Amino acid sequence: TQSATNDWYNTMSPAFRYNIQSQIVGDSLFISGQVIRFRPINATDLRLHTVLAEHPVNYENPPGSNGERDFPMVVRKMFPNATGLAIGNGSVATPLSYAYYLPALLRRDRLQLVLFVQSAGAKTAYK
């Protein structure tokens, strides 16, 4: 529930520092930066997930058979892939650098990057 999510958010203090830059040049998106843990965490299977989302995506005619035309936060690409980037326990700064050709169907003014660190085994996501 939203209440449980809010409680979890308020009790878990931030654990990672994200220093990320992104830029669209021509028809490509460039992402660079680094992430580092700044408080102890008892996990050694951490993965950094970098998600390119488009919000919102609206269609004049429903693309499927259920009649829906409006879609919030549509994931368009995950970097480097759906399993993310292994960062061990996160205590050492992990650099990242991605370049991605942006297909013409994406609305550049609606693109957002979402980054988070998650334990691969426990599936705990850290702020």
Mean pLDDT by 10 residues, the chain (127 residues): 80 87 97 95 95 96 95 97 97 97 96 96 89
The alpha carbon of residue 113 and the mean position of all alpha carbons in its chain are separated, in whole angstroms, by 6
Give me the amino acid identity at 28.
S
Smallest Cα–Cα separation from 90: which of 17, 11, 9?
17
- Whole-number pLDDT of residue 72: 96
What are the structure tokens assigned to 19, written together?
């220093």
Residue 118 pLDDT: 95
Determine the pLDDT at residue 89: 96
**pTM score, whole prediction:** 0.86
Task: Respond yes or no on whether the N-terminal peptide bond of residue 80 is cis (omega within 30° of 0).
Answer: yes
49 conformational bin, left if phi > 0, alpha if psi -120 to 50, beta if neither: beta
Cα 10 → chain centroid: 20
